[in-house]
Structure 1
């Protein structure tokens, strides 16, 4: 009887040990599963956007330069003044241009006098030619009658030829004098135009949005390589935002796309705009060719009705040139699209053509496999504690959700996090445990 009790104790102890071992094994097995976050594939409306930053500027902006160089002796406007087309803006010192005009007029008068002299000489030469011709004809008849000798006739013939040559020369002198008058007239007109250009007038209605030079300062004219910018006249009632869009996004933008604008000066306020201009040529940003970022300029007109409540008599122009703005261009919109969170989408290498085994792998492949390897867009479905890899075809997306065109159906549960698990660690068939964000982030910390 004592032996039976001892045997029972031994069996009981063995049973306890076995149960403990099984529990430990199960615990270890459970702890080996990835704790993940999940989400359901659902139908949603998505608006795809392209974000960019830029500066506000007037749609119509005229830079005022001087055609002539000189010193500003009078300035009739200040920054912020409203001007109308034809208003006098400033005066450039006209002294040297008045002197140039006087010299040009004197040269023109001299050329005209020379022309008159040349015409008089031509008239005289023609009169002498008539006399020489008559003498020639008369003496030619006398020669035939034998009244004069050949030597005497040759003298009259020579006088006649000289008279004809004098007429030709006088005609050429008159023509040259006419050219000199035309040249002097052009020089005089240019000098007069330069004198007029010392007075600068407003080319259009608008506001003096920038005044870069003051009275007494000197400016370069457009005849120089780089003329001096004196001021800008802008139409402040029509504003636009000039943004730089990366080359990867520019193909998604079209003329007429709607845009939402946020201006730093007006927090918690969004304005509406429309894409009015898309650059055809890129502009490169960066010093070295390897560091250059290829961007395209896109201009967005700000719709007046989106800010008309900000217009007051005291502040008729809510926006000022140079204000910073953040723009979201609405490129595509879809309704009732099958969507999942953006973070649930990842990529895996597809080596099916090189290996007749598991298509998707993280392991290193041979050289021949690398040639056939390509990245496939996919997601991991949550299937009763197991991660099932599913290739998908994606569509448009916004900042939170992405369209799934194929590979999933409504109601499918996908693994959306943590990012490191979805993007790198998770393999098809791995055990996973559905958890909350608090549990996942607590474990990760």
Structure 2
């Protein structure tokens, strides 16, 4: 059907391009691995061998605590072990003496010249001394364990890197005294920033559209022009509020907004991505590559079953056309049937605005 129009038309040629249907989420960047390196012994932080931003390897010396207390404890433990060994040796000498006495009493008992009480007393001394040797042996074991602990504590004054990584920050400064009681005080924080993880908050209205393995892209607010590509990793089946202890959770039955956590990783070889950066994440739920696409503003009356009316420019007139639409990203809609590349369509919203004006 042909129809004319007196109002100026705003039209656009139909072309090809990509269409992506996405779910928008906000994310926070974290290192793929982060370790708080602490002190297991008391003392003054004598020396720091690294600074914030330094890269370190596993086993590298990071810091040193004044070892004076631990060295004194080690010497004390060594002395206690020497004393325990000497006590056992003295007990062995005494046992030998008691055994000789017992041997004489047994000989006298066989000859009939001894007394029963002396024999019993000699036997009791030997038995008691054997028990004393067992006590001395236990004391040696205790002293050896104390010595091993003292050696370990002395080793703990040299703080080594538990993993490869980068020093995110120094918590304890040189000269400060650290006290390790129930928890190990943190000296510095190490992290693997070669790979970053992004923890996203996905709204409950979108969570059923998202699943692991979906492609996505994101940018950080510090550099909106740079796109990073990745795929969705794991999805949390319950929001954080539902995982909290009931005594600490909100008194309301349902929070005003429910978000589920999704986590994915992204390589960070140049270390441009930093801890706690905010990311705008676009999770691609549907996409079509190099398809015929139509501006959404050109869509006319919906006819059901993904069919719409559009106005196609034909010379100085327009004609009504029915198209079958596909993916819609709110800017463009995929045209599966009803239009050809290069045809011009009328931008319906602009025409309506002109008529209303």
Pairwise same-fold verdict (TM > 0.5): yes
How many Å apart are 1:198 and its aligned residue?
A: 0.8
* Distance of aligned partners of 1:134 and 1:51 in 2 relative to their CA distance in 1, 3 Å threshold: farther
The two structures, once aligned, show a CA RMSD in angstroms of 3.9
The match for 1:109 among 60, 67, 82 is: 82
User: Which residue of structure 2 lines up, in the alignment, with residue 244 of structure 1?
Assistant: 201
Q: Which structure carries more strand by proportion?
A: 2
* Distance of aligned partners of 1:216 and 1:272 in 2 relative to their CA distance in 1, 3 Å threshold: same
The match for 1:75 among 48, 63, 66 is: 48
The CA distance in 2 between the partners of 1:126 and 1:441, in whole Å, is: 122
TM-score by length of 2: 0.69
The CA distance in 1 between the partners of 2:172 and 2:69, in whole Å, is: 21
User: Which residue of structure 1 lines up, in the alignment, with residue 330 of structure 2?
Assistant: 400
Contact 2:43–2:69 under 8 Å retained in 1: no
User: Which residue of structure 1 lines up, in the alignment, with residue 221 of structure 2?
Assistant: 264
Q: Which structure carries more helix by proportion?
A: 1
Q: Residue by residue, what CA displacement relative to the aligned partner does 1:384-425 show, whole Å, maximum 9, x if unpaired? A: xxxxxxxxxxxx987539x9xxxxxx99xxxxxxxxxxxxxx
TM-score by length of 1: 0.57
The CA distance in 2 between the partners of 1:273 and 1:257, in whole Å, is: 9
User: Which residue of structure 2 lines up, in the alignment, with residue 273 of structure 1?
Assistant: 230
Aligned residue pairs, count: 298
Unaligned runs of 5+ in 1: 1-43, 140-151, 305-310, 345-377, 384-395, 404-409, 412-434
User: Which residue of structure 1 lines up, in the alignment, with residue 10 of structure 2?
Assistant: none
The CA distance in 2 between the partners of 1:331 and 1:129, in whole Å, is: 94
SS in 2 for 1:191: helix
* Distance of aligned partners of 1:93 and 1:279 in 2 relative to their CA distance in 1, 3 Å threshold: farther
How many Å apart are 1:84 and its aligned residue?
A: 2.4
Structure with greater contact order relative to length (CA < 8 Å, sep ≥ 6) = 2
* Distance of aligned partners of 1:82 and 1:382 in 2 relative to their CA distance in 1, 3 Å threshold: closer
User: Which residue of structure 2 lines up, in the alignment, with residue 8 of structure 1?
Assistant: none
User: Which residue of structure 1 lines up, in the alignment, with residue 140 of structure 2?
Assistant: 181
* Distance of aligned partners of 1:159 and 1:47 in 2 relative to their CA distance in 1, 3 Å threshold: farther
* Distance of aligned partners of 1:218 and 1:49 in 2 relative to their CA distance in 1, 3 Å threshold: farther
How many Å apart are 1:247 and its aligned residue?
A: 5.1
* Distance of aligned partners of 1:172 and 1:71 in 2 relative to their CA distance in 1, 3 Å threshold: same
Contact 1:108–1:184 under 8 Å retained in 2: yes
How many Å apart are 1:282 and its aligned residue?
A: 4.1
The CA distance in 2 between the partners of 1:45 and 1:200, in whole Å, is: 54
How many Å apart are 1:67 and its aligned residue?
A: 1.6
Instruction: Kindly report which structure 2 residues correspond to 1:293-442, keeping only aligned pairs within 5 A, or say none.
Output: 294-303=258-267, 316-331=270-285, 400=330, 436=349
The match for 1:235 among 192, 212, 216 is: 192
How many Å apart are 1:65 and its aligned residue?
A: 1.3
Unaligned runs of 5+ in 2: 1-16, 310-325, 339-347
How many Å apart are 1:118 and its aligned residue?
A: 1.9
How many Å apart are 1:55 and its aligned residue?
A: 1.8
SS in 1 for 2:225: coil
The CA distance in 1 between the partners of 2:178 and 2:204, in whole Å, is: 40
Contact 2:194–2:267 under 8 Å retained in 1: no
The CA distance in 2 between the partners of 1:397 and 1:178, in whole Å, is: 82
- Of the two, which has the highest radius of gyration? 1
User: Which residue of structure 2 lines up, in the alignment, with residue 198 of structure 1?
Assistant: 157
1:119 correspondence with 2:92: yes
The match for 1:224 among 182, 196, 200 is: 182
The CA distance in 1 between the partners of 2:77 and 2:207, in whole Å, is: 57
How many Å apart are 1:442 and its aligned residue?
A: 10
